[in-house]
C-alpha cells in the first residue's frame, strides 16, 4: 500500500481525525479572526462605494462568500456521502451529516442578504430569478437531507438514504453557478473569476477575496467541531473516547 492510501485510511479513522482536529482548530480560529478583522475593515471602510449601487454594495462582502460557501459545502457533503456509501467509511457519513446544518445556514444567509441587497438594487425583496430559485432549492435539499437522515431509527440506514439524496441533488450546484449564463436573470455575470480583467475595483476585490477565505475558514471550523461531536456521540462506548473525555474534563 502506497503512502497516499495509508494516509487516506488513517484519516478515515474517527480517533485519528478527532485527535488531529484538536490541534488544527486553534490555528483555524486564529486565522479566521485575523481574516475577518482585515476583511471587514477593508470592505466596510477602505473600499469605495459602487458607482451605481453606492454603499449598498457592501452587502456583497457577506452575500457572495456565503453563497460560494453554500455551494462548496453541498459538494463536500455529497462527496463525503458518496465516499461513505461506496467504501462504507463511517467518518465520511459523520462529515456529511455535520456539513448539512452548516451548509443550510450559509444558504439561508446568502438568500437573506441577497434579499436585502436586491431591495435597493432591483426595487424588490424577491424575484423568481433563476439563480435565486436554484439557491432556494439548495436550501430545501439541505433540509431534505437532514429530515431524511432523522426519519430512520437505524442511523446507518439513514446515512445511506440521505447520502443518495445528497448525490442526486448535486446536479443543482452547476445550475446555480451557470444560471446567469443559461437564462436571462437579474444577476450579473462573473466578476472575480475574470482574472485577466476583473470587472471590480482592486480594493473591493481584495476585501471580497479575504472575506471569502474568512467565511470558508469559519464554516470549516464549525464543521470540524460538529464532526467531533458526532464522533463522540457515535463512538461513545469506545475506550479511546472515554480516555479523551477524561482528559478534557
Confirm whether 3 is domain-assigned: no
Confirm whether 15 is domain-assigned: no
Residue with cell 469605495: 48
Confirm whether 11 is domain-assigned: no
Cell output for 205: 476585490
Confirm whether 247 is domain-assigned: no
For residue 3, the SS3 value is: helix
For residue 221, the SS3 value is: helix
Cell output for 12: 478515515
Total of domains in the chain: 1
- In which domain, by residue range, is 139 found? 28-47+54-237
197: left (phi over 0), alpha (psi -120 to 50) or beta: beta
CA 233 – CA 144 distance, rounded (Å): 22
Confirm whether 249 is domain-assigned: no
Residue 246 confidence (pLDDT) above 80? no
The tens digit of pLDDT for each residue in 25-64 reads 999 999 999 999 999 999 999 998 887 788 888 999 999 9
The tens digit of pLDDT for each residue in 80-129 reads 999 999 999 999 999 999 999 999 999 999 999 999 988 887 788 888 88
pLDDT value of residue 215 = 98
What is the rounded average pLDDT for all residues in the chain? 89
The tens digit of pLDDT for each residue in 169-193 reads 999 999 988 887 776 666 655 555 5
Confirm whether 142 is domain-assigned: yes
CA 17 – CA 10 distance, rounded (Å): 8
CA 155 – CA 93 distance, rounded (Å): 10
**Are the C-beta atoms of residues 99 and 223 closer than 8 Å to each other?**
yes
- 4-8: average pLDDT: 58
CATH at 106: 1.20.120
Amino acid at each position: 500500500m502506497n503512502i497516499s492510501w495509508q494516509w487516506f485510511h488513517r484519516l478515515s479513522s474517527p480517533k485519528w481525525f478527532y485527535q488531529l482536529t484538536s490541534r488544527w482548530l486553534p490555528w483555524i480560529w486564529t486565522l479566521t479572526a485575523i481574516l475577518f478583522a482585515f476583511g471587514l475593515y477593508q470592505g466596510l471602510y477602505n473600499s469605495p462605494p459602487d458607482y451605481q449601487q453606492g454603499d449598498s454594495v457592501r452587502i456583497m462582502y457577506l452575500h457572495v462568500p456565503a453563497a460560494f460557501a453554500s455551494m462548496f459545502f453541498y459538494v463536500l457533503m455529497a462527496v463525503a456521502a458518496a465516499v461513505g456509501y461506496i467504501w462504507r467509511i463511517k467518518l465520511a457519513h459523520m462529515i456529511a451529516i455535520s456539513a448539512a446544518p452548516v451548509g443550510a445556514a450559509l444558504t439561508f444567509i446568502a438568500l437573506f442578504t441577497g434579499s436585502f441587497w436586491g431591495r435597493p438594487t432591483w426595487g424588490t425583496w424577491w424575484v423568481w430569478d433563476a439563480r435565486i430559485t436554484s439557491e432556494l432549492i439548495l436550501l430545501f435539499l439541505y433540509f431534505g437531507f437532514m429530515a431524511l437522515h432523522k426519519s430512520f431509527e437505524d442511523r446507518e440506514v439513514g446515512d445511506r438514504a440521505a447520502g443518495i439524496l445528497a448525490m442526486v441533488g448535486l446536479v443543482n450546484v452547476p445550475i446555480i453557478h451557470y444560471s446567469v449564463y443559461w437564462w436571462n436573470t437579474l444577476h450579473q455575470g462573473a466578476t472575480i473569476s475574470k482574472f485577466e480583467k476583473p470587472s471590480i475595483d482592486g480594493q473591493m476585490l481584495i476585501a471580497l477575496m479575504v472575506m471569502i477565505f474568512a467565511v470558508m475558514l469559519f464554516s470549516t471550523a464549525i464543521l470540524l467541531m460538529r464532526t467531533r461531536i458526532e464522533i463522540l456521540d457515535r463512538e461513545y462506548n469506545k475506550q479511546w473516547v472515554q480516555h479523551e473525555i477524561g482528559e478534557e474534563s
